[in-house]
Structure 1
Amino acid sequence: MDALTPAGTDPLTDLLDGVRTTGAVFNRSALSGTWAVRFEDGSPLALAVPMTGPAWVVLENEEPVRLDPGDVAVLSGGTPYTIAGDPSAAPDVTIRPGGRCTVPDGTEHLTHDLGPARVTNTGGTVLLNGLYTLPSVTPGRLLAALPPLAVVPSHQGTCPVNPEAFEDMFCLAPGRQVLLDRMLDLMLITALRAWFTRPGAPLPAWYRAHSDPVIGSALRLLHTDLAHPWTVTSLAAATGVSRAALARMFTELVGQPPMTYLREQRLALAADLLREPETTIGTVAARVGFSSAFSLSTAFKKARGISPSQHRTGTASDKD
């Protein structure tokens, strides 16, 4: 039996573990003839997968990139882009924030979420898009490590979506939004794992940090016990270096100071725990190293723009 790698020893796990969404927007379009869709939704992360037929991704001031069936395009940073059947085609619809659609004269258009319609081979292109709607669910380190467009060819990584899965993904049944959220996370993580581990991929500093004898040890200590009352001083003592040396090395290799990194990891774990039924905010606060429910709520809202209660219920209003 193969042993699983403990949390904190795998740099990709640490990077991708914070990728979680609520309120994912999926657009599925059956397109034929001359078509082009402009995306100005501002999503910090998005992906596009042509399930049948080819497509082109066009970013301003960049050469168009062709996508073949099964290729996954990951777009980051919120920069506008166009996906088209012909890279020279003018957009006939624009996707706005929240999944709204407009036609060239600015009027609203029906959403591209086609509900439970079956995917068929009609000679055109069936395009699937997933949009992250909240910047707070995408770690800053991840966005910094990605180019505006990363394409994972179908032979390099397996997209965990097939036409048969669409029936469950898009049917209007209880739990639909949770299914869409988790499916988008799974698709993105699968694509990014293939992207970061592709042959010849340059290794960013945060990736190399895990092989550093001092900072790698510090990362493992933090992840082994996130609730421990760590300070830079205690972490430095545990790794056998001075406080100043640890702070400098950690910031240089990981990209942020030790306590900032620790706070982000605690909040990512809290976001997961808050989804567990019957778990109180106070209990979650204790499990992730915050002194009280109030301190967790304050930090959570500052970092993610919503309170723990809003995150738990997926609502935009709060009664805390």
Structure 2
Amino acid sequence: MSDTTLSLPKARPSLSGRVKAALLLFALFAMMPPLALALDDPFYLLIGTRILAYAIAAMALDLVLGFGAMVSFGHAAYLGLGTYAVAILASFGVHDLVLQMLAAIAMAAVFAFVTGAISLRTRGVYFIMITLAFGQMAFFFFISLSAYGGDDGVALVQRSTVLGMDLLGSDIGLYYTTLALLIGLFILCHRIVGSRFGRVLTGIRENPTRMEAIGFTPFRYQLTAFVISGCITAIAGVLLANQAQFVSPAFMSWHKSGELIVMVVLGGTGTLAGPIAGAVAALLLEEWLGILSEHWKLFFGLFLVLMVLFSSDGITGMLRRLGIGRGKE
């Protein structure tokens, strides 16, 4: 079999199909608060907000994993940086959400630029291991910060404010703010992957040697995507800190990085909408299986194995074969 055959890109959902799938998910998300009110159960809002925040993080990881073929096993570090941006600024009396997000983005951009510039000089399993190493370095650094609770973490006195207004004080306000950010960031990612930059990044994923031969520098494009992904993940961390009203190094452990990868693979890589569906499926299965058995991880693992065996391109691939969410080619 020739190299040309091996480098042929796999079939991906078209842009219109991606948007249709996302619109369906966003419509379902918008119906959650009325459902929670009708059932008089605030738990649905809390788990819903958590799902939305993790959906942002999974979508950000898909930008580098699905479109850039960079398997980052330390992406939870950016999630943790977002949570600690909230805790650190709150300790100085700064509770504004916009300022916290800007701080989180700045911290994530610097960390992603430095670690990405080093990690991208490696390939394959070496890239995976070095991103894991950097993630664990960040994890142990924040464990050593006794001023912020160390390994025990720190509770937040209040949720963030928006331009002085307590919009996130209610669970519904936090939920819809998180949903609005998810929609906005999806549009941003959708524009990125559909742009010239996104097409070059996809080309580098398929065959970096050929892209370099026609005048593109893979390193610059991959590093830029890595930094953008880290910044978006940090925004998810800011939202998770507000949802839990608690911050600890556990947010940036390698287990969290693994969970994000599972969400992307479960939903379907290189789709943007797939990781959102993957976050929904993974977190709901965690809740439901946890009710049935304390050994829920065993059943979750079996489900993941079956999904990979029978639908290697995840939930979106399975739905596409059933004729659901198919867009124009």
Normalised by the size of structure 2, how large is the TM-score?
0.25
Larger Rg: 1
* Greater strand proportion: 1
Q: Which has the higher contact order (CA 8 A, sep 6+)?
A: 2
* Greater helix proportion: 2
